[in-house]
Copies of this chain bind each other. A is one copy, B any other.
Amino acid sequence: MNEDRQPVIILAEPQLGENIGAAARAMLNFGLTELRIAAPRDGWPNPAAQPLAAGAFEAGVKVTAFDSVEAACADLGYLVAATARPRGMEKPVTNAAGAVGWLHEAMAAKRVGVVFGNEAQGLSNDHVALCDAIVTYPVNKAFASLNLSQAVIVFAHAWGEAAGQEGRFEGTEAGVGEPASRDELIGMFEHFEAELERAGYFYPPDKTPLMTRNLRNAFIRGQWTSQEVRTFRGAVKALAIGRGKARILRED
């Protein structure tokens, strides 16, 4: 598998070898193969990791240990912090599917990673500060603490949903299946909304912000590809000009 086409998974100061092994298994279940462990409490290698890895190390997960989170992230150009807690930081926040989109977008230019905190404290503020964005899960606030390997598999599954069974985005070269960039999505929204405005759709005008937000949210959830954005823009264009054209054709 081509590791440059995948995010690195970084475990920040993990405590239990069992969780490292279970995280490796979870990664490989969805085709992710590069695991970095930063300052593991019990050192590395750690025999406690083996049983829960269920063969993942032998089957393809490469593990590298580092002295610190900073060292583990040194060569990565875009990092997402997995954390449940809002910290009043000025960072973009998204859900698992959204993080996959952002990582894939960034991956075109640099290596990327996702950082998970440890069993006792999660990620420290200093480690979150190293990251470009935050991924958070819609956890039950009354019982919010996920097992570390469970947090990893939720991300890995979202990666697999978008990237396919080998953990890679298929057809990236041809541009088919490539997630739309935020620019492309915004371009599509603005095009759609401009045509709706012209068609007199937004009424009463004070509801326009709410209506556009609801439409944008519905589209964003689908994690559209560039091709799908182009297809939909073609459809909007056809609808906006098509009625007249269809009438002209009929009158021919």
Q: Interface with B: A62-70, A72-80, A123-131, A223-231, which one?
A: A223-231
Known: A95-B161, A201-B242. 8 other contacts (CB 8 A): A30-B137, A31-B140, A52-B147, A137-B160, A138-B165, A140-B165, A198-B243, A200-B245
Beta-carbon contact of B200 and A242 below 8 Å: yes
- Taking CB as reference atom, which chain B residue is nearest A234? B201
Beta-carbon contact of B222 and A221 below 8 Å: yes
Return A32 CB to nearest CB of chain B, in Å.
9
What residues on B are CB-neighbors of A238 within 8 Å?
196, 199-201
What residues on B are CB-neighbors of A218 within 8 Å?
222, 224-225, 228, 231-232
Decide if A241 is an interface residue (CB 8 Å cutoff).
yes
Beta-carbon contact of A139 and B153 below 8 Å: no
What residues on B are CB-neighbors of A249 within 8 Å?
200
Which residues 29-83 of A have a CB within 8 angstroms of B? Answer: 29-31, 52, 54-56, 59-60
Decide if A121 is an interface residue (CB 8 Å cutoff).
no
Q: How many residues of A contact B (CB 8 A)?
A: 73
Decide if A145 is an interface residue (CB 8 Å cutoff).
yes
Decide if A144 is an interface residue (CB 8 Å cutoff).
yes
Neighbour of A29 across the interface among B52, B146, B200, CB < 8 A: B146
Bound CA span A220–B141, Å: 29
Return A19 CB to nearest CB of chain B, in Å.
11
- Taking CB as reference atom, which chain B residue is nearest A192? B235
Decide if A239 is an interface residue (CB 8 Å cutoff).
yes
Can you show 7 pairs from A to B with CB atoms below 8 A apart? A26-B146, A29-B140, A29-B143, A140-B167, A153-B153, A153-B154, A198-B246
